[in-house]
Amino acid sequence: MSVMRTAMRTHACGELRAEHVGQEVALCGWVWRERDHGGVTFVDLRDREGLVQLVIHPEEAPEAHAVAKGFRSESVVRVVGEVRRRPPGTVNPNLATGEIEVAVRSAQVLAAAETPPFPIDDRIEASEELRLRYRYLDLRRPEMTRILRLRHRINRIIRDHMESLGFLEVETPYLTRSTPEGARDFLVPSRLWKGSFYALPQSPQQLKQLLMVAGQDRYYQIVRCFRDEDPRADRSFEFTQLDVEMSFVDEEDVFGVIEPLMARIVRETQGVEVPTPFPRLTYREMLDRYGTDKPDLRYGMELVDLGPAFAGTSFRVFAAALADGGVIKGFAAPGGAALSRKEHDQLTQIARETGAGGLVTFAVLPEGVRSPVEKHVSPGEVEAVLQATGAREGDLVLVVADRPDRANVALDALRRRLAERLGLIPEGVWAFCWMVEPPLFEWSEDEGKWVSVHHPFTAPADPEDLDPPAARSRGYDLVLNGFELGGGSIRIHDPEIQRRVFERLGLTPEQTEEQFGHLIRAFRYGVPPHGGIAFGIDRIVMLMAGKEAIRDVTAFPKAQSGQDPLTGAPAPGLRGAAAGTGPAAGRAAAAPRSDRRPRGR
């Protein structure tokens, strides 16, 4: 990327190459390193585009040399000089500008810098809190510049792709009405309307559907969204999403827009071709095979039902689980038999921490199968386990007997941990898949009632079957390498079906009017069949950048505590601000989910 020439510079530091040899250049940047070799001063000057070596000879430029002797790390300087080839034997092949150097004839300190609180280097050891407090220094690091450039590139690819397909980019407001989207709202007190509040949008869900009512046919937006929920590695108070809605479509139309976009992002940022179409797995199939609705398909270790293997078992733990309507499930971990006793204990702890009662293992060794419960199970049951899981010599079979939900969560966690521990995750593989046919409703323990899995406008798979928990929906999620990138659905456009869904959710006509009246009224004036999807761009960039938290790919993120070490936010309200601060003012009741519902594992 070329930097625009200005009155103070002719080139960026990182763009100089051998073809510039002989040219006089003016450069501006930050002093990275300074060193003295026999009276000759060498300086590495850095800007966003990279760094270049400056050489200042006391005989050729005594005034510039005197100025350079006073350079301090991270000071901003301007130099003028001639681009020269480096002497033989001094070329740096690891540096884009490694063939050349700039012989400085004049130098000027534009802004002196104090000693920074940590080195501006990619091999940084400073704490995250310190880095976030001085984020403007952290962003000077080449690694952070690379990430911001990657994020910019992905946004550009999205816009280019969507516009090529006839989508119209439409901005929706930040100040809107609080609507039930699945998390608490951030509320903004109104100065003009005392005692009333705007809400920051959790998602433009209803507004994008209204754009379809408005006849805009195809909409997209790269939009900021806000949710007052506990931050995690892949979740934050504020996030950026790609929001999409289309008229006169079914699921395959939506997939047909998104799959080539995701394949293009991987191709242009990672240099890897991703085959399309992506696999489609039902919600039920995902839980049965992987224990989660966002599986990592880069490795095997699929779960299997071991209930038949222990149908008549005398092992009381397994027999009790089956008698109580539970399941016995497990998988074989290749090479896991070599794990130490300590690691076995750690696996058992993982199972318990994720809700399961415990863990049973079968190590397939040359001398036979070893298990803590080998005295309680028969040789025939052990053989049936090996047959069902496909375990071979050197493998470790992990088995959990519990309620289906607990067993699935525990085995999913164990599967992920062992894939990493045993080196089973291949490099450079991008395994996308669609989760389809999720439940239409789910039971909320907090609210004591059935709520929508996505949101109450998600169309049922069968309009005649709206009875939870069996009712399926026309919702879908896109999963990549074990992360849910986003989700959406085909929407309800039949007023009678919509009325029945609201009834299943326990909403009275008065509550429906209060929460969704503006949308219901719009639907009376002709609404096209429509559907859409929304993606977390932060998560996409996180995965493409090889990072483990979206804080690492956000310019100015909050800490995991929710605080901003840079600005000190949140802070007490300023004098003269509208009334309405305090915990109660910033929260709204949770209810049906939006397209970007962030499910936990």
pLDDT for residue 431 is more than 50: yes
Does residue 333 contact residue 395 with C-beta atoms inside 8 Å? yes
Asked if the peptide bond before residue 204 counts as cis, ω within 30 degrees of 0, the response is no
Query: What is the C-alpha to C-alpha distance for residues 461 and 446, in angstroms, rounded to an integer?
Result: 27
* Token pair for 222: 């790269």
Q: What percent of the chain has pLDDT over 70?
A: 94
Query: What is the C-alpha to C-alpha distance for residues 173 and 171, in angstroms, rounded to an integer?
Result: 7
Query: What is the C-alpha to C-alpha distance for residues 512 and 509, in angstroms, rounded to an integer?
Result: 5
Burial per residue of 333-363, b for 16 or more beta-carbon CB atoms within 10 angstroms, e otherwise:
bbebbebeeeebeebbebbeebbbbebbbbb
Q: List the helix and strand counts (H, then E) for the chain.
A: 14, 22
* Token pair for 423: 């080196």
What are the pLDDT digits (tens) for 330-372?
999 999 999 999 999 999 999 999 999 999 999 999 999 999 9
Pairing of strands 432-436, 280-282: parallel
pLDDT for residue 181 is more than 90: no
- pLDDT at residue number 447: 86
pLDDT for residue 476 is more than 90: yes
Task: Give the pLDDT mean for 367-385.
Answer: 96
Per-residue pLDDT band for 593 (boundaries 50, 70, 90) equals: very low
Residue-level length of the chain: 601
Query: What is the C-alpha to C-alpha distance for residues 563 and 578, in angstroms, rounded to an integer?
Result: 22
What are the pLDDT digits (tens) for 96-149?
999 999 999 999 999 999 999 999 988 888 999 999 999 999 999 999 999 999
- pLDDT at residue number 180: 67
Query: What is the C-alpha to C-alpha distance for residues 238 and 36, in angstroms, rounded to an integer?
Result: 47
Question: Which is nearest to 204 in space by CA: 189, 186, 226?
Answer: 226
Query: What is the C-alpha to C-alpha distance for residues 142 and 95, in angstroms, rounded to an integer?
Result: 12
* Dihedral pair phi/psi, residue 78, rounded to 5°: -125, 135
Per-residue pLDDT band for 232 (boundaries 50, 70, 90) equals: confident
Query: How many Cα atoms sit within 13 Å of 571 on the Cβ side?
Result: 9
- pLDDT at residue number 583: 38
Per-residue pLDDT band for 590 (boundaries 50, 70, 90) equals: very low
pLDDT for residue 477 is more than 80: yes
Does residue 476 contact residue 433 with C-beta atoms inside 8 Å? no
Query: What is the C-alpha to C-alpha distance for residues 472 and 215, in angstroms, rounded to an integer?
Result: 29
* Dihedral pair phi/psi, residue 26, rounded to 5°: -115, 125
pLDDT for residue 315 is more than 70: yes
Query: First vs last Cα of the chain: how many Å apart?
Result: 40
Question: Which is nearest to 201 in space by CA: 237, 225, 169, 180?
Answer: 225
pLDDT for residue 497 is more than 80: yes
Asked if the peptide bond before residue 180 counts as cis, ω within 30 degrees of 0, the response is no
Q: Which residue segments constitute the domains of the chain, with CATH numbers given?
A: 13-111 (2.40.50.140), 144-281+432-586 (3.30.930.10), 299-421 (3.30.1360.30)
Query: How many Cα atoms sit within 13 Å of 128 on the Cβ side?
Result: 13
Which residue has tokens 């702890």? 349
Question: Which is nearest to 556 in space by CA: 171, 200, 137, 157?
Answer: 137
pLDDT for residue 578 is more than 90: no
pLDDT for residue 550 is more than 60: yes
Residue 207, burial from CB neighbour count under 10 angstroms (0-12, 13-18, 19+): buried
- pLDDT at residue number 330: 98
**CA distances from residue 54 to 7, 57, 78, 101, 592 in whole angstroms, order as listed:** 21, 10, 11, 6, 60
pLDDT for residue 423 is more than 50: yes
What are the pLDDT digits (tens) for 48-83?
999 999 999 999 999 999 999 999 999 999 999 999
- pLDDT at residue number 596: 43
Per-residue pLDDT band for 9 (boundaries 50, 70, 90) equals: very high
- pLDDT at residue number 1: 54
Question: Which is nearest to 41 in space by CA: 68, 13, 63?
Answer: 68
Asked if the peptide bond before residue 570 counts as cis, ω within 30 degrees of 0, the response is yes
- pLDDT at residue number 588: 37
Q: Which of 202-216, 278-292, 493-507, 573-587 has the lowest mean pLDDT?
A: 573-587
Alpha-helical runs (H) found in 45-98:
62-68
* Token pair for 202: 């959790």
Top-confidence residue, 404 or 585: 404
Per-residue pLDDT band for 595 (boundaries 50, 70, 90) equals: low
Query: What is the C-alpha to C-alpha distance for residues 291 and 294, in angstroms, rounded to an integer?
Result: 9
Query: What is the C-alpha to C-alpha distance for residues 322 and 306, in angstroms, rounded to an integer?
Result: 11
Contacts of 400 (CB under 8 A, 6+ apart): 328, 329, 330, 351, 356, 358, 359, 360, 406, 407, 410, 411, 414
- Average per-residue pLDDT in the chain? 92
